[in-house]
Structure 1
Amino acid sequence: MTQYMPLFRSCTSLRTLSQLHAHLLVSGLHRHPQASTKLIESYSHLGSLHSSSLLFHSFPNPDPFMFGVLIKCSTWSRHYHRSISLYHHMIRHDIPTTRFIFPSVLRACSGCGEMRVGREVHGRVVKCGFDGDNVVETALVGLYGEMGWLDEAMRVFGEMSVRDTVSWSSVVLSCVENGEVSRGLGMFREMVMMGGVVPDSVTMLGVCEGCGKLGWWRGARAAHGFVVRREIRKDEGLDSSLITMYGKCGDLQSAERVFRSASCWHTASWTAMISGYNQGGCFVEARGVFVRMLECGVEPNSVTLMCVLMSCVGLGLIRDGKSVHGYVIRKAVDPELEFLGSALLELYAETGGVRYCQEILNTIGLRNVVPWNTVISVYCQKGLLKEALLVFVRMQSQGLMPDAFGMSSALAACGKMGSLELGHQIHGHVVKRGCLDEFVLNSLIDMYSKCGFVDSGYVIFDTMKTPGIITWNSMISGFSRCGNSVMAINLFDQIYMNRLEIDEVTILSVIQACSELGYLEKGKWVHHKLITYGIWKDLFVDTALTDMYAKCGDLQSAQGVFDMMIERSVVSWSVMIAAYGVHGKIHAAISLFSQMLEAGIEPNEVTFMNILSACSHAGAVEEGRIYFRSMKDFGIEPNAEHFACIVDLLSRAGDLKGAYDIIKSIQFSVDASIWGALLNGCRIHQRMDMIKSIQKDLLDIKTDDSGYYTLFSNIYAEGGNWEEFGNVRLMMKDIGLRKVPGYSAIEIDKRVYRFGAGDTPLPQMEEIYRFLENFQCLTHGLGVRSNFIC
């Protein structure tokens, strides 16, 4: 039998192996256990596990060694359940288990996630006395590490009497993959310090992955230097890991150098380079690497194509994405689109290919909810809100129940659309299914806030035992957005008093609340705290601070924050222009607008809105006309707000005819804000004749803005036309509108209280009324007229 062993090694195809098998049959050696075992192993190595199984089952009584070979071959071929089934067959029939069998069975358990079976195998390892075997113990470390039982993996590793390179590599990789990156790198340092065990390429795979996850550039350089100094043999896996590591650390030049110095460019190396460029936002370079890869004749795999599709999404190249899709179909890379389906859906959804999304969903959408979630999420991000909700409804009609991610995306779409009814239905679905994780609850709070029902969001918030910072931010932002800035600040105070985590979003929300209230002292305190927390020199925070100081009347501080900004966006410039405009400094606003243009920043719609508003406040008619006409030079079409602003400017200046001519030139439907600006100008200049001439236009307006009707009715009241006054108020009543009551806010002991007419929210209300009564009596005694009504 010995003379046939070299022949087995020379068999490089199933054909030659079949010829050898036939020769053994003729010679009668096929029944020899060693020959049969070798045939089983060879068939498996050449990709024919089925032939290996047939040969194995042709034996009436296979020995433990044959069982071990078939179990190992099944595990190599990723037929994990078959490996476990063979192992159970051995146990049931009392076939002796050798230490050779356990590593393959343990690997099969981790491969198919059978932790219960893995624990049973561990028990049998101990029972059979193999728990001192180095190879078996290393397999146990791998099992527990891959299944997320890191503490158990560390316990097994700590009890090992002999630790070789494989076991150290396994524990380093287990720590890194379970999120304990620093612990894993610490184990690597301990391995090196101990000496006697030489790290190999597998060890360095874990180290490179750890440095990449941390984005630790110095550690990445040290790891690469260690590979070079120790002359660790670089294979395909290590080359691609070094490239990936540098890509995650943002050092694309080093990644490119490693790529160019690779002894052989494999698919993994090309893929790592494409992925690195994608992570750095260099989508053009990533696409170029893929083109070079094809020119070199290297076949891409499904991971490569996934990265290329990401590049197409980043560049918005739907034609290139379609070419990749065609390649996938021609080469049958992923026939069922199990791996690439979500990437293709993201491509078509991002680039507006709604029809293609529907076709892919029809192909893969019946298996799981992931592709549906992808489409709903991308549609929501792209503003295709109606389409997102239609997909959400269609998914359920197909018999698929949405998960937390799908429901959160649908709730986000409801919030943006203001669709409270559908949001209520999804809320009911969430409660019914018990899907009450923090992610979904945050989406519910946000949805209710955006729909104007922030109190409903607060009810959800109040039921949460330990809300995270995202939940607090959602609630603070919701109150601030709905105008209840007092409650937003009170929630922020609770976060601070309870010493919870505070981030940039928290700061931005509370600064916005201070802006709405004009709460300067609190804004200054928040400014101080954000410096303490290290949230400093952030573009968004600095812009919000500039806006807050300006709205609170502290123009000097607003200017100081603006001047100290290292980077300025168009929003930053717009906010400062608005600040000058509100404070009546038209020349400073115009000068700043010119500086913005000189800095190469193009104005947007908001910038022009702010400069027109500044002109309106200052009565700078000619300047306002110039800026309004110049909007088209920057490719900006005036919207309703711009028209309302220029009409207001002309109306206040007395040019009512010019304002009316502009209204008549508007191509779209004129809303109440534009007519209201003209109406206010007529009131200021006592032009009742003009109001009568345009009365039909004014009464045809359909709006839910009570301010418009209030202004209209007040004009009739001032002119003594009580009949028309009553008609307008009756019209408001018929359409369900009422005048929005004003309110006042007062700060007492660093706390802001808000109250309106008829409210009795303050515990000091009786004392306030007594003071007003005494004050009124005092003014009467001094002969001073008082307007207080007690």
Structure 2
Amino acid sequence: MKSEPFEPFPSKFPMHLLARSPASLIFRRSSSSSISSNSSAVCNYVIAQLDRFLSSPHCPTRDCLSRSHALIITSGNSANPFFSAKLIYLYASSNSPFSSIEIFRGTPNKDAFLWNSIIKSHFSNGLYSRSLELFSEMRSADCLPNHFTLPMVASACGEAGWPNFGMCVHGLASKCGLLGCSSAVGSSLVYMYSKSGEIGDACKIFDEMPDRDVVAWTAVLVGCLQNGEEEKGLEFLCEMLSCDVRPNSRTMEGAFQACGNMGALLEGSCLHGLMVKNGAGSSPVVQSSVLSMYTKCECPDEAYRSFCEVVDKNIFTWTSVIGVHARVGKMRECISLFHQMQDAEFYPDRIVISCMLLGFGNSMNVLEGKTFHGLVLRRRYLFDQMVDNALLSMYCKFRQLDIANKLFDRGNKLDKERWNIMVLGYGKIGLEENCIKLFKEMHYLGIEADSNSLVSVISSSSRMRENSIGRQFHCYAIKCLMDSDVSVANSLIDFYGSCGDLSMAHSIFSKAMRDVVSWNTLMSAYAHNKRYVDAISLFNRMRLKGISPNSATLVTVLSACSNLASLEDGERIHQFITENQFKLNVSLATALIDMYAKCGKLEKSRQIFDSMNKRDVISWNVMISCYGMHGDAKSAIDVFQLMENSNRRPNNLTFLGLLSACAHSGLVKEGKYLFDRMESYSIKPDLKHYACMVDLLGKSGDLKGAEELVLSMPMSPDGGIWGALLSACRIHGEIDIGVRVAKHAIESDPGNDGYYVLLSNMCTSIGRWEEAEMVRRTMKGRIEERRAGWSAI
């Protein structure tokens, strides 16, 4: 049966009787006949009311508390520590710690119990510094703390950021022998050291605790989480479960948060299963933590299932489930959830709207994004700076710069996020000059750039081959102390790698904080500059450091093995992939196909190709090129037919590989068929396709057909085409055609001396001495016109 809130006096209580009664009679029962029956009734009533005051678990209203306080004073119990402690607690609960301190000051003979009460009153109201000052007063009064005092004081040190004071409290706890007698003391010290960033000391305290309850385990787990040691926190959780300690909701919340921060979906799913098994899934805190974990791991299906299990849904849970679907591009589900949220009478706030807009931008749903923009305007949803910036980002990703520029011009000119979004947008679209120009204007106006903008302009400099500008941005990064940022450092490594300055790239790599992308970037730089041995050595060093490579790492190092034709290294990396159970995705399988083919293991390449469940156009092209490389044009054509049968559309590289294979094998008929077939796929031949066809016709002796093909080209032939045709004429002894072709070649490229030599030799071979001499004079005159070189040595 529910007890009634404490009410010290009824509204019609005869207060005049209490006023007449001596204070000394209130708590003394007497059989003297001199005490009237009225006084006895009053005495019994007051005793009952004071008993109810001490035993009532409810916090009374401020008026009731004031009347109770008056009753305690008039009854002569203001010096009683039990009543004082109760009043201190109630005033603190009603957010009046200053009233609590007045009661405390007025109470004589203060013991540890009363000191604990006043310290707790300030601690519970967030006045941590004041509670520590009161603890200092307690020590000055020569009152020893107990196992109730120190947990509050240690926690207050952590909250107030007083680590030195906390260390003194730790020493006092050891001196008083309180560490071993109470797990609460040890848990609070673990919490204090964790809050101070000293997770090592927190773990030492935890290891020394003889009795570890769930509070202690939770304190060390959450402490690891607060200090970025999520993996260590999960190790403590496993140890906790092996000790048969049942986790509480706070423990599970911390564990799910650790899994989410690490992106550890497998561990989080196992923890979710354990929670369901133990029947701990009904807690709203745990349900929200599970949802948050799945959203951070970007697992929308599991996130939606967890969302459905949440009983008390709020705007935060709706935002979480909508956000994860938006990030992975599931906009159909995202729109459905958005409408469901409104049906549940939750008004979308700016965060939900921003998530939706960013989702449309990431998924490149232009029509749907514009439609949602119109919906936001029509329904007059909250349209603040965050929503405006999300719109700007969406239109930049849509490459609709006319709208993006209008949004940018009408907004707050000094908002740094808008400038950074535009710089990033120009960089991603490929407008490198605009990107750099806007960044410089931003710098001139004194607007702070973020790491994304700096990465964008460094990458733009790299793509434009503007080495001096890229070095300027490097200096800017050092000046603004942004060179230690991992993403900025990675972009600088890539920039110097593309410039060929590998010593600078390695220097930045050695000094910066590194992630797996850093290793991949330097490895790619080595491969790009044909230092394949260094790329493989860097991969071996990466493994020795205990850093787990990803698929991009493996693709890069396999490419290095391919270019070196190092079968031993390639097989070792393939074994590493198998042993570590890497998922053989399309890019990784394609890299293995290429590596084995270039190392002479064509059968192994085909075996991997046939085992692929999914193939993209690059996979097909690589397999076709592998057969062409080995002179097996028929097998290359067979693979092409399989490609057509699988409804995979070929591209220009597909036909280049096929024509090259036919040229190597001398399959003229098949080559002509494939060349004509390009038109059916709306692919226009480029110079490389024509070069293959000229080479094919020239090797087969059809020099007239090759000449006609060259003269009918829609673009000017380059040196490769003329050279291939001239060589074929010389090999087959077709001097007349060769002379004509050489004259065409010289007209197209007068600076190529090789054409003059070939023409002179062919004229000499058929007895045209005068013509040959004239060609030599022309070539000699050109050489004399050149500026002579000189040396300072």
CA deviation map 1:569-613 (0-9, x unaligned): 221110111122233333222221110121232223322322233
Cα distance change, pair 588–651 in 1 and its aligned pair in 2 (3 A): same
In 1, Cα distance between equivalents of 2:155 and 2:399: 44
Partner of residue 312, structure 1: 360
**Shift in Å, 1:385:** 3.2
Please name the residue that 1:443 is paired with: 491
What is aligned with 2:255? 207
Of the three residues 580, 588, 593, the one matched with 2:635 is 588
Match of 2:33 in 1: none
| Equivalent position of 1:172 in the other structure | 221
Question: Aligned letter for 2:222?
Answer: L
Aligned residue in 2 for 1:284: 332
Please give the per-residue CA displacement for 1:657-699, whole angstroms capped at 9, x wherever unaligned. 54345433x5xxx5xx646414542553343334535754445
- Report the 3-state secondary structure (helix = DSSP H, G, I; strand = E; otherwise coil) of the residue aligned with 1:399: coil
Question: Normalization by structure 1: what TM-score?
Answer: 0.68
Equivalences for 1:476-495 in 2 at 5 Å? Answer: 476-485=523-532, 488=535
- Cα displacement string for residues 154-188 of structure 1 (whole angstroms, at most 9, x for unaligned residues): 34555668766555433333334545445544544
Is 2:165 the counterpart of 1:120? yes
Q: 1:421 aligns with which of 455, 468, 472?
A: 468
1:784 equivalent in structure 2 = none
Check the 8 A contact 2:498/2:525 in 1, yes or no: yes
Residues 305 and 324, structure 1, Cα contact 8 Å, conserved in 2: no
Report the residue type matching 2:321 in the other structure: M
Q: Which amino acid aligns with 2:256?
A: C
**Pair 236,327 (structure 1): closer, same or farther in 2 beyond 3 Å:** farther
Whole-Å Cα distance in 1 between the matches of residues 311 and 372 of structure 2?
A: 31
Structure 1 partner of 2:201: 152
User: Is contact 1:239–1:269 with CA below 8 Å preserved after alignment?
Assistant: no
Aligned-partner Cα distance in 2 for 1:280–1:418? 34
> How do 1:742-761 and structure 2 match up within 5 A?
none
Q: 1:512/1:714 Cα in 2 relative to 1: closer, same or farther (>3 Å)?
A: farther
1:692 aligns with 2:743: yes
Deviation of 1:219 (Å)? 5.4
Instruction: Render the CA deviation track for 1:58-77: whole Å, top value 9, x for unaligned.
Output: 99x9999899767755x4xx
- 1:323–1:718 CA distance, 2 compared to 1 (3 A): farther
- Give the alignment of 1:446-461 within 5 angstroms: 446-454=494-502, 457=505
CA distance 1:724–1:472, shift in 2 (3 Å): farther
Separation (CA, whole Å) in 2 of partners of 1:467 and 1:262: 39
1:663 aligns with 2:713: yes
| Equivalent residue pairs, number | 686
Letter in 2 for 1:595: L
Q: Which moved more, 1:124-133 or 1:577-586?
A: 124-133
- Are 2:399 and 1:399 equivalent residues in the alignment? no
**Partner residue in 2 for 1:602:** 649
Query: Aligned residue for 1:299?
Result: 347
Structure 2 residue corresponding to 1:410, chosen from 443, 448, 457: 457
C-alpha distance after superposition, 1:100-129 (max 9, x if no partner): 999899878867xx64x3543564687698
Within-5 A mapping of 1:13-412: 72-73=124-125, 75=126, 83=127, 115=161, 117-120=162-165, 123=168, 140-146=189-195, 148-157=197-206, 165-181=214-230, 183-185=232-234, 187-188=236-237, 199-212=247-260, 220=268, 223-228=271-276, 230-232=278-280, 234-246=282-294, 254-278=302-326, 282-301=330-349, 304-305=352-353, 307-317=355-365, 318-319=369-370, 322=373, 330-331=381-382, 335=384, 337=386, 346-354=393-401, 356=404, 376=423, 379-399=426-446, 407-412=454-459
Tell me the alpha carbon deviations over residues 197-246 of structure 1, each in whole angstroms, 9 at most, x when there is no partner. Answer: 76443332223334555666675565445544554473443222223445
1:348 and 1:53, CA in 2 relative to 1: closer, same or farther beyond 3 A?
Answer: farther
Q: Structure 1 residues 271 and 467 mapped into 2: Cα distance closer, same or farther (>3 Å)?
A: closer
Partner of 1:772: none
Q: Give yes or no for contact 1:312–1:320 (8 Å, CA) kept in 2.
A: no
Mapping of residues 523-534 of structure 1, within 5 Å: 523=570
Q: Counterpart in 1 of 2:761?
A: 718
The 3 A distance-change label for structure 1 pair 510 and 186 is closer
Structure 1: how far apart are the matches of 2:418 and 2:98? 39
User: Does the CA-based 8 Å contact 1:241-1:272 persist in structure 2?
Assistant: no
Pairwise CA distance, 1:525: 6.0
- One-letter identity of the residue aligned with 1:688: V
- Asked if 2 retains the 8 angstrom alpha-carbon contact of 1:140 and 1:156, the reply is yes
**For structure 1, which runs of at least 5 residues remain unmatched after alignment?**
12-16, 45-51, 76-82, 700-707, 737-790
Task: After superposition, give the CA deviation of every residue in 1:7-43 in whole Å (9 maximum; x if it has no partner).
Answer: x9899xxxxx9xx89x99xx9x9xx99999979966x
Could you tell me which of 691, 713, 721 is aligned with 1:677?
721
Matches within 5 A, 1:616-655: 616-620=663-667, 623-631=670-678, 633-634=680-681, 636=683, 638-639=685-686, 641-642=688-689, 645=692, 653-654=702-703, 655=705
> Aligned partners of 1:85 and 1:260: how far apart in 2?
43
Q: Which residue of 2 aligns with 1:778?
A: none
* C-alpha spacing 1:243/1:505, structure 2 compared with 1 (3 Å): closer
Counterpart for residue 761 of structure 1 = none
- Asked if the contact 2:738/2:759 (under 8 Å) is kept, the reply is no
TM-score by length of 2: 0.68
Assess if the C-alpha contact under 8 Å between 2:462 and 2:495 holds in 1.
yes
Gaps of 5+ in 2: 1-5, 10-52, 73-77, 79-83, 108-114, 730-736, 763-771
The separation in 2 between residues aligned to 1:549 and 1:146, in whole angstroms, is 54
Distance 1:198 1:614, change over 3 A: closer
Residues 746, 756 of structure 2: 8 Å contact kept = no
CA contact (8 A) 2:567 2:599 kept: yes
Paired with 2:460 and 2:568, the residues of 1 have a C-alpha distance of 37
Larger radius of gyration: 2
Structure 1 residues 40, 633: closer, same or farther in 2, change over 3 A? farther
The separation in 2 between residues aligned to 1:379 and 1:220, in whole angstroms, is 38
Is the Cα contact below 8 Å between 2:474 and 2:483 reproduced in 1? Answer: no
Q: 1:301 to 1:90 in 2, by over 3 A?
A: farther
3-state DSSP class of the match of 1:584?
A: coil
Preserved CA contact (<8 Å) 2:122 2:131: no
Contact 1:449 1:478 in 2 (8 A): yes
Counterparts in 2 of 1:479 and 1:170: CA distance versus 1, 3 Å: closer
Give me the whole-angstrom Cα distance separating, in 2, the residues matched to 1:158 and 1:520.
50
Using the alignment, how far apart are the partners of 1:374 and 1:443 within structure 2? 18
Cα shift readout 1:324-382 (whole Å, capped 9, x = no counterpart): 876998436xx554xx78766643432225464795699678576x7766665565455
Structure 1 segment 446-595 matched on structure 2, within 5 A:
446-454=494-502, 457=505, 473-485=520-532, 488=535, 504-518=551-565, 523=570, 537-552=584-599, 554-595=601-642
Give the Cα separation in 2 of the matches to 1:62 and 1:647.
107
Give CA-to-partner distance per residue, 1:299-347, whole Å, 9 cap, x none.
3455544543443233223326646876998436xx554xx78766643
Residue 522 of structure 1 deviates from its aligned partner by 5.6
Are the structure 2 counterparts of residues 727 and 156 from structure 1 closer, same or farther at C-alpha, using a change threshold of 3 Å?
A: farther
